[in-house]
Structure 1
Amino acid sequence: MTPREVLALCRQKEVQAVDLRFMDFPGTQKHFTIPVNALTEESFADGLTFDGSSIRGWQSINESDMLVLPQAETAMVDPFMKSTLAMTCNIQDPITRSDYNRDPRNVARKAEAYMASTGIADTALFGMQPEFFIFDDVRFDQNVHEGYYHIDSIEGEWNRGRFSDSKNSGQQIRRREGYFPMPPADTLQDLRTEIMLTAQECGIGIAGQHHEVATGGQCEVDLEHVPLLQAADNLLRFKYIVKNVAAKHGKVATFMPKPLWNDNGSGLHMSLSFWKNNETLFAGSGYGSMSELAMNAVGGILKHAPALLAFCCPTTNSYKRTVPGFDAPVNLTYSFRNRSAAIRIPVHTSSSSTKRFEFRCPDPSCNPYLASAAVTMAALDGIQNKIAPGMPLDKDVYDLPSEELTAYAKVPDSLEKSLQALREDHSFLLRGDVFTEDVIDTWIWYKTTYEVQAIRERPHPWEFALYFDS
């Protein structure tokens, strides 16, 4: 769409309000709303002001004024708000009119521009596969004298002995047996279909939806492959849809990686392929019918994976998912078909257009602009420096003896270690001014101060079970 077409759409749909949306630094979407008559063609170029000092990780109060610039191509009629059209925005400095370095969407835009400038590829296609939980109820708090959480789901195996006003169906999903169950055990089929259809109405291509492995309402909806920036935009829009459809039905959705102990967590598998002049660069005659360029991209991602996880697995909770014995990969390996590897080359049809690989480490708590930009930069570094990925691992990683596993590098086991890896290995991210030293430093500072340190300072409920009688 053009700005003029957006204004015409507003008249056609009798829109009365325009919702302007952007993403803060850690990865939460923000918005404010203007009346439709305040939106003009000039608004798209001139922008609208807001207080950047009130956004996490952004401006100081003495430099608080910032601009949002609506992006016409992102316009959609909001399915949940009355007479409202929503648009994603870019952020600019109001004095220099330069794009703001700490705007995550700007980082993704620069990653696409840098990729094109290298001459290697003109398009990076990402297929996002977000997993998430839909619960019936959640309660949590942390105070000076208490810290707790309580989650409930009618599907949860812990409710097989449930007594309530209604009859117990006895159809609860057993722990780690939630993959593809039929209704009535799968209580979320209609809700997931509503999510899928709403996403399609909002311009997001969907490949399919299903129940995932965990008990308690774990779901997956697969988004179709689109270019990097659009993929990140779509994931933000998708999360908004999931949360609002769940709320409409009196439920609550979360993209937290590991809300349930001792069951599978939620990942965000990223399928990636590079293209040039509408032709894939990943098809070839090598391992898994992949090209040498594709394998170098794999090598780059595996080499930089510890640093990448600071963006791809950016919460302390993320590392409760990446533990041995569950589906999340803990060894930095690659393989054809093998889902226990960090990078999987999937089996599809013989068509060259389907050739891609899947990075299985990321989780849905990530800022999709920063995560997909970082993965792209690592893949480009692998191609530029012809980084070999080593030998594939075609065995079940989870069944290998410990002495054989020592030959393979591991993912960091904490956010603190991933941040340290990013501190030591980020020069590949600085090329083309895609990430800046300021962005890297601010990310490490924010995550260390407000998440790593904050968790370290607070007692954990399990510590009481371990130590109260000391």
Structure 2
Amino acid sequence: MTNIPASSSAIADLAEAQAFFKAHPEIDAIDLIFTNMCGVPRGKRLRAHEVLAVYENGRFLPGSVLVVDITGRDTEETGLVWEDGDADRIVRPAAGTLVPAPWLGSNAAQFLTSFYELDGTPNDLDPRHILANVIDRLGADGLTPVAAVELEFYLLDTSGPRPDAARGPVTGHRSRDIQVYGLREMEDFKPFFDDLYAACDTQGLPLESGISEYAAGQFEFTLRHMADALRAADDAVMYKRLVKGIAVKHGMEATFMAKPFADRAGSGMHLHVSMADENGANAFASASPEGTPLLRHAIGGMKAALADSMAIFAPNANSYRRFRANSYAPVASTWGVNNRTVSLRVPAGAPATRHVEHRVAGADANPYLALAAVLGAMHHGMSNQIDPGPPVVGNGYEAADADTRLPNHWATAIDVLQNSTLMREILGDRFVTHYCTVKGVEMANFMGEVTALDYDWYLRNA
């Protein structure tokens, strides 16, 4: 049985903030945070008395920040800057997210917010609202998504001309080997991990097991699954910020960039999802390793939507460097049981734990949008009883063909999303239009840069 909590989509009330400051009178540097479509936390630094006012009345912020690109540049092409008069909307705090931020000092805290129109309507470009809308659709069918987010990241030394794997704080050793599941690597970074767990406990983030991943300096930790997918995405956003902050305290840089090194493993965001029924029981639970027919239909929906949602799972130019055969990053719309070479894996486990692991998204994806795309696709598959076909047995990379291969170029993925009726139904027509505009302009700016590789390849040879 799964205990289903109240939705975290609720707006926090003034009493929550008053109780927090009563318990933490020393705190007077508080970050108001919102996360726009590019997944970068942005916001304002407030004093305690200003926070109380936000919890009582909200805070005005320009709506244009909803469509700034990954670099923080206004995307004027959306029409939401000058044509809109750069008009204010209002942000309101998300319940349960006002917590200390210990890596910033003993007087620091933070809270998450969502954007609303001035009449109180949820803003349809805010990723939190988009995910909440998808969850509500599942709820109307008597289903509650139970979700967990796994994130891979690198700890880097950025003091040289190029980033490199960080030296372990205990021995000063810089690994050059893969050492997947290596315990010496975990021991060497223990001071960092101790602070990471302590900060997560302070913020109420359900951090569990961690491993040394498939490259020097790469690690993965699990956030515990919960029957509140919006809170799971909130936790992922807070966790990424926390990891980066703790790393800086230890003289390192943490990155969730999808592919920091051409010759090393990329970093993924693996999304684990099941569905609880109206009684809180796992609707996918089955003695069969493939799960229930409902799970098969959910997988059918995810397979059908994978290509259309690739620009959500791989939002940046660098994202597409991660997808290579035999790399543990999937390249085709495939599914299987206890098989890490496919996009959609039903893990081994007891019948009551039956769920699906969505393995496509990079660690650079926006957690709200990635979960919204996955859950919306599952809802599509379950509502229409889509058959996923037989599971892949053996090497999923060899099973890839022209019909199942996913878009592997940024421009193609943006174009496919732009023209997807299904994703417009899941994420919202206006959101898809503006997201593709932002990413299209971002791509044009990226491609307009002349890099060192241009000179290496073409200066003398062209």
TM-score of the superposition, structure 1-length normalised?
A: 0.86
Could you tell me which residue of structure 2 aligns to residue 461 of structure 1? 452
- Give, in angstroms, the shift of residue 124 of structure 1: 0.9
Among 42, 47, 58, the alignment partner of 2:58 is 47
Aligned residue for 1:20?
32
Q: Output the CA distance in 2 between the equivalents of 1:304 and 1:89.
A: 29
Match of 1:242, SS? helix
- How far apart are residue 231 of structure 1 and its match? 0.9
Contact 2:258 2:267 in 1 (8 A): yes
Cα distance in 1 for partners of 2:369, 2:87 equals 23
1:55-66 aligned at under 5 Å gives the runs 56=68, 59-61=80-82, 62-66=85-89
Q: 1:448 aligns with which of 440, 445, 449?
A: 440
| Paired residue secondary structure (1:239) | helix
Aligned partner of 2:248 in structure 1 is: 247
Distance 2:182 2:235 in 1: 28
Structure 1 residues 17 and 304: alpha-carbon distance in aligned structure 2, compared to 1, 3 A threshold: same
**Local SS of the residue matching 2:286:** coil
SS in structure 2 opposite 1:280? coil
Q: Note if contact 1:44-1:71 (Cα within 8 Å) is conserved in structure 2.
A: no
Q: 1:51 to 1:423 in 2, by over 3 A?
A: closer
- Alpha-carbon offset, residue 291 of structure 1: 0.6
1:20–1:87 Cα contact (<8 Å) kept? yes
Equivalent AA in structure 2 for residue 131 of structure 1? E
Aligned length: 433
Q: Distance in 1 between matches of 2:392 and 2:116?
A: 46
Asked if structure 2 preserves the Cα contact closer than 8 Å seen for 1:307 and 1:426, the reply is no
**Alignment partner for residue 280 of structure 1, among 271, 279, 282?**
282
Q: Could you tell me whether the CA contact under 8 Å between 1:172 and 1:185 is conserved in 2?
A: no
Counterpart of 1:80 in structure 2: which amino acid?
W
Which residue in 2 is equivalent to 1:36? Answer: 48
| Cα 1:269–1:39 shift into 2, 3 Å | closer
SS at match of 1:221: strand
Q: For each residue in 1:398-430, what CA deviation from the matched residue of structure 2 results, as whole angstroms up to 9, or x when unmatched?
A: 4x4xxx643761121112111122123233542
- Amino acid across the alignment from 1:296: H
Q: Distance in 2 between matches of 1:294 and 1:371?
A: 19
Instruction: Decide whether the 8 Å contact of 2:267 with 2:362 is kept in 1.
Output: yes
Aligned position for 1:100: 123
The aligned counterpart of 2:8 is none
**Aligned pair in 2 of structure 1 residues 151, 349: CA closer, same or farther (>3 Å)?**
same
SS at match of 1:72: coil
CA pair 429-437 structure 1, distance change in 2 beyond 3 A: closer
* Cα separation, partners in 2 of 1:49 and 1:154, compared to 1, 3 Å: closer
1:200 paired residue number: 201
In structure 1, the residue matched to 2:102 is 79
Distance in 1, matches of 2:157 and 2:232, equals 29
TM-score relative to the length of structure 2? 0.87
Question: CA 1:437–1:418 in 2, change beyond 3 Å: closer, same or farther?
Answer: same
**Which of 437, 444, 454 lines up with 2:429 in the alignment?**
437
The equivalent residue for 2:17 is 6
Please name the residue that 2:420 is paired with: 425
Match of 2:393 in 1: 394
What SS does the corresponding residue of 2:240 show, helix, strand or coil? helix
Instruction: Indicate yes or no: 2:132 matched with 1:109.
Output: yes
Shift of 1:289: 4.3
CA displacement at 1:30 relative to structure 2:
1.1
Aligned partner of residue 220 in structure 1, secondary structure: strand
- TM-aligned CA distance change 1:214 to 1:184, over 3 Å: closer
> Share of identical aligned residues, percent?
23
Q: Could you report, residue by residue, the CA deviation over 1:193-252 in whole angstroms, capped at 9, with x for unpaired residues?
A: 42133212211112211111012x111111111221001100111011100100001111
Q: Give 1:218's aligned residue.
A: 218
Determine if contact 2:335/2:391 at 8 Å carries over to the other structure.
yes
> In the alignment, which of 154, 173, 176 is matched to residue 176 of structure 2?
173
Q: Residue 183 of structure 1: SS of its match in structure 2?
A: helix
Map residues 193-342 of structure 1 onto 2, 5 A cutoff. 193-215=194-216, 217-226=217-226, 227-277=228-278, 278-286=280-288, 288-342=289-343
2:122–2:129: 8 Å Cα contact kept in structure 1? yes
The 2-side partners of 1:462 and 1:325 are apart by 26
Which residue pairs with 1:373 in the alignment?
372
| Residue 281 of structure 1, CA deviation | 0.9
Asked whether the equivalents of residues 3 and 72 of structure 1 are also in contact (C-alpha less than 8 Å), the reply is no
Structure 2: gaps of 5 or more residues: 1-11, 69-74
Aligned to 1:143: none
Letter in 2 for 1:25: M
Question: What is the alpha-carbon distance in structure 2 between the residues aligned to residue 397 and residue 298 of structure 1?
Answer: 16
Cα-to-partner distance string for 1:110-147 (whole Å, 9 max, x where unaligned)? 11112212x141x11111110011101167xxxxxxxx
AA aligned opposite 2:41:
Q
Q: 1:3 deviation in Å?
A: 3.0
The answer on 1:409 being equivalent to 2:404 is yes
Deviation at 1:45, TM superposition (A): 5.1
Q: CA RMSD in A?
A: 2.4
Q: Secondary structure at the match of 1:443?
A: helix
